Structure 1
Amino acid sequence: MPSQRFAPPTEVPGLSARRIAADIVDGVLHKHRTLDDQLDGAGAHPGLKTLPDRDRALMRRLVATILRRLGTLTHVLSRLLDRGMPTDAPRAQSALMIGAAQILWMDVPDHAAVDLSVRLVQSDRRAAKYAGLVNAVLRRCAREGQGLIAEVATQMLDLPPWLGNRWIAHYGEPAARDMAAAIGHEPSLDLTVKGDAPQWASRLHGEVLPTGSVRTQLQGSVTVLPGFAEGQWWVQDAAAALPTRLFGDIAGKTILDLCAAPGGKTAQLAHAGAHVVALDRSPARMARLRDNLARLSLQADTVTADACEWQAGDRRLFDGILLDAPCTSTGTIRRHPDVAWLRQESDIAQLVALQERLLEKAVSLLKPGGILVYCTCSLEPEEGEAAIAALLDAELSLRRVPIEASEIGGFAELINRDGDLRTLPCHLPHADPRFAGLDGFYAARLVR
């Protein structure tokens, strides 16, 4: 009788995506690794290579939902667990968060969310004993979870207390609450297009914002969307696309992009006709910038160097300098929810010191009459308004040129009392919350 061969059992659909999501959430919360590090490049999770696109999209959304609603999620589970979170089995904790996030905020059938979370703990030696607990808690979550969320709806649980308190102090409690609520929504995909924005909005099932960006709700890999391979657009939050507008007409001018990678603003400057020198200290990020420019058929001189130490040579000065300075990135939490849990208030002072050095360097490289645009994707005033106030006090050769609403799509509310750009996550309201919001950005325009 011929021997029979049996194929190994196939894994339950969706389980790999949830297992990788658990690993990545653990990487953020317990190993202090950024999402970018775990999703792309040399440090990316090895399981991503074999994950189908649909499962990859599910995994990304699941991770983002857990991190975006972590405070509320922790509250709900604490109310459902009589003895608290299991402390001797990290996978049990992850399975509870993954299951609850799907039940509470994602379009996943409750029974599937429960079943796959139970399978997740059953596949882990240390966590297997908690399979019954996970099953019972998640079934209760399906019944009682929305009521438990309503108990804390007026609290800003999804921000670290230090950050929520800062926003209340600097922006007032109503604005802080609106910002926290905006961060709770999954953001849209914003694109900067080379031209014919209405046509691309139609093809991509989106709309053209008054600022010129195209905003779409399409999901999945951007590389398969119309126009990507042809280099007709690039991904860039609508707020991040505003600072380069502050230079005005730069055709034929030489502009230094001082902290350039990954290159969205470099692409804007090059597309506007400038001769761009793009500088960044990270070889990996500069390689990505060059790849992006090649896809977009745009040109820039690229330099890999520490901006504070770089010498332009031959006493070269620039018509304009864009300094998108390294910062706490608290304005990007709606797109990068790991930032809320990786940053500490103590990080601000160290980054402010770096920003001061970079501003001094930028001023030294600017021609008389040249324009310096300083921006950060931070909501912390020390990294924006206070930094520019200190610079203007120290550098009498500089003066501020206030921004006009007409330069940024007519949105006067995005301009602060000093004439600088200050966007908040709750800005750009829309009847459909999926089309609302901006990253938090600060930008000032100075002339020497």
Structure 2
Amino acid sequence: MTQTETRGGARRRPPSRGNHQGAKRARETSGSDPRAAAAEIVSAVCEDHQPLAAVLDGDDTRALDPRDAALARAIARITVRRRGDIDWCLANLMDKPLPKRASAVRAILRISAAQLLFMRQADHAAVNVAVALLKGDGATGGFAGLANAVLRRLVRERDLLLARLPVEANTPDWVWRRWVEIYGAATAGAIAAIHREEPSLDLAFAATGGPLPEGAEPLPTGGARLPTGTVTEIEGYAEGGWWVQDFAAQLPALILGDVAGKRVLDLCAAPGGKTMQLAARGAKVTAVEIDPARAERLRENLARTRLSDRVEVVVGDAMEAGGTYDAVLLDAPCSATGTMRRQPDVAWAKSKTDITALSRVQKDLLRHAADRVESGGSLVYATCSIEPEEGEAQIRFVAKHLPALQLDPINEGVPAAFATPEGTMRTLPHMAIPETELRGLDGFFAARFRKV
């Protein structure tokens, strides 16, 4: 479960640490140029450390005509996705880095490089607009000459730079070093490579056996994958027959086995994919979510999928949930490094201290969740993280400190490719999906326990 800062499912936006000059300049010009709007989005994400999804949901591109708005959002998305690669290329063309205060200049250079390197927009347009945007603001006009020279050199040396681009360039150094140590250079490289690709759109269904949307490929979970698409325009959306949920995120609920008629507690429930899975399979679900806005979105999804009558949504701290249940699903707050393929800004917003702090939160939640399971019941613990502290290490914690929870090896509900020798589940973003020719999924860890 993706969270920024948590205790029992709480979520807080990190404080802004960036220079707002770039955002102010972009707001003044975004009504007339999609590239200015894209620079505003990129500045908010890369300089002010705001989540990309939240910025896109609330950005000012609505003031643009639909075609320009789509261009602005596309430029922003590819810039954030390839941020490390872009910065590597720009660093190779500049004698020294820009001053920290030059956030507006940095954003314009980044979006311009994204167009030249990965979108193949008209070279002259990308360069000329960048120069014009910089000249249009007295605070950035002095950098127009530098930007012109750097971007024109980028056009000339583009192919050489792309040929030399190291796979680790698009991953923060501390993350890359960890992954090499944990998984080896080859696997770390494969993960970093797939993070450069735009993800597909995975669906989970409220009922089995129904028709798939046109162009969709079936998944082993009973879901389906589409190359891409606007969610609300996909066949079956209005009828509520499906919801968006990554293939790997569909697996933890399946690990609980047959839940028909059982009382299931879903802790830290939003955005609600697993809640809907459980309800669709006949469980009576209590879904706990601390964020009222996210809880309301969950209710809306339940109403659209016609599953509301099977779910009680409780707004509250997961650490204060009471009662006991036949089964508990704890999709714990985590660093979300397994979702970087879908949320490319995650890598740059995290630090090693986040992983350490979140692992403590997970321990607290595991203690509390253990008390919510009835004797003989099941607990599934899951995180969308590929960091061992948030996965494998928690199994050792349970074995040492929670003797009432016995590891229940997973031998069904998960493809063999994802099962570990210890009886847990581990997916990595570059893995292939069994029974298909598809590749790419969120990185997840899951384990199942039996309460004795």
TM-score bin, normalised by smaller chain: 0.7 to 0.9
Corresponding residue for residue 274 of structure 1: 283
Task: Assess, with a 3 A threshold, how the Cα gap between structure 1 residues 55 and 192 changes in structure 2: closer, same or farther.
Answer: farther
Conserved 8 A contact 2:208-2:222: no
SS in 1 for 2:445: strand
Conserved 8 A contact 1:167-1:176: yes
The alpha carbon displacement at 1:197 in A equals 6.5
Corresponding residue for residue 318 of structure 1: 325
Corresponding residue for residue 23 of structure 1: 40
Conserved 8 A contact 1:256-1:276: yes
Range moving further from structure 2, 385-394 or 368-377: 385-394
The alpha carbon displacement at 1:446 in A equals 0.8
Conserved 8 A contact 1:48-1:56: yes
Distance in 2 between residues matched to 1:384 and 1:258, nearest whole Å: 17
Conserved 8 A contact 1:86-1:93: no
The alpha carbon displacement at 1:402 in A equals 1.6
Distance in 2 between residues matched to 1:138 and 1:237, nearest whole Å: 37
Unaligned runs of 5+ in 2: 1-27
Q: What is the aligned-residue identity percentage?
A: 44
Question: What amino acid is the match of 1:166?
Answer: R
Distance in 2 between residues matched to 1:59 and 1:342, nearest whole Å: 22
| TM-score normalised to structure 2 length | 0.87
Distance in 2 between residues matched to 1:53 and 1:418, nearest whole Å: 51
Distance in 2 between residues matched to 1:172 and 1:290, nearest whole Å: 42
Task: Assess, with a 3 A threshold, how the Cα gap between structure 1 residues 258 and 17 changes in structure 2: closer, same or farther.
Answer: same
Conserved 8 A contact 1:15-1:116: no
Conserved 8 A contact 1:259-1:325: yes
Corresponding residue for residue 421 of structure 2: 417
Corresponding residue for residue 107 of structure 2: 94
Distance in 2 between residues matched to 1:107 and 1:224, nearest whole Å: 28
Q: Does 1:439 align with 2:410?
A: no
1:280-299 deviations in Å (ceiling 9; x for gaps): 11111111111111111112
Distance in 1 between residues matched to 2:81 and 2:30, nearest whole Å: 25
Distance in 2 between residues matched to 1:266 and 1:305, nearest whole Å: 16
SS in 1 for 2:222: coil
Conserved 8 A contact 1:321-1:373: yes
Conserved 8 A contact 2:341-2:442: yes
Q: Does 1:33 align with 2:50?
A: yes
Corresponding residue for residue 148 of structure 1: 161
Distance in 2 between residues matched to 1:55 and 1:241, nearest whole Å: 35
SS in 1 for 2:44: helix
Distance in 1 between residues matched to 2:373 and 2:134, nearest whole Å: 59
Range moving further from structure 2, 346-355 or 85-94: 85-94
Corresponding residue for residue 331 of structure 1: 338
1:378-407 deviations in Å (ceiling 9; x for gaps): 111111111122112222222222222x52
Unaligned runs of 5+ in 1: 1-10
CA RMSD after TM alignment: 2.4
| TM-score normalised to structure 1 length | 0.88
Question: What amino acid is the match of 2:382?
Answer: C
Distance in 2 between residues matched to 1:176 and 1:242, nearest whole Å: 23
SS in 2 for 1:148: helix
Q: Does 1:189 align with 2:201?
A: yes
1:206-260 deviations in Å (ceiling 9; x for gaps): 31123332111233x3122221121111111111011000111111111000110
Candidates 70, 74, 77, aligned match of 2:87: 74
The alpha carbon displacement at 1:25 in A equals 1.8
1:188-207 deviations in Å (ceiling 9; x for gaps): 11111234678324x2x231
Corresponding residue for residue 315 of structure 2: 304
Corresponding residue for residue 407 of structure 1: 413
Distance in 2 between residues matched to 1:12 and 1:90, nearest whole Å: 16
1:172-183 aligned at under 5 Å gives the runs 172-183=184-195
Distance in 2 between residues matched to 1:14 and 1:108, nearest whole Å: 21
The alpha carbon displacement at 1:428 in A equals 1.4
SS in 2 for 1:346: helix
1:407-434 deviations in Å (ceiling 9; x for gaps): 23xx32211121111000111169x99x
The alpha carbon displacement at 1:160 in A equals 1.1
Conserved 8 A contact 2:32-2:64: no
The alpha carbon displacement at 1:83 in A equals 4.8
1:324-381 deviations in Å (ceiling 9; x for gaps): 0000000001111111000010111211111111111111010111110100001111
Question: What amino acid is the match of 2:151?
Answer: L
Task: Assess, with a 3 A threshold, how the Cα gap between structure 1 residues 86 and 382 changes in structure 2: closer, same or farther.
Answer: closer
Corresponding residue for residue 8 of structure 1: none
Conserved 8 A contact 2:194-2:429: yes
Question: What amino acid is the match of 1:303?
Answer: V
Distance in 2 between residues matched to 1:105 and 1:196, nearest whole Å: 39
Range moving further from structure 2, 51-60 or 65-74: 51-60
Distance in 2 between residues matched to 1:390 and 1:359, nearest whole Å: 9
Corresponding residue for residue 208 of structure 1: 218
SS in 2 for 1:326: coil
Question: What amino acid is the match of 1:417?
Answer: P
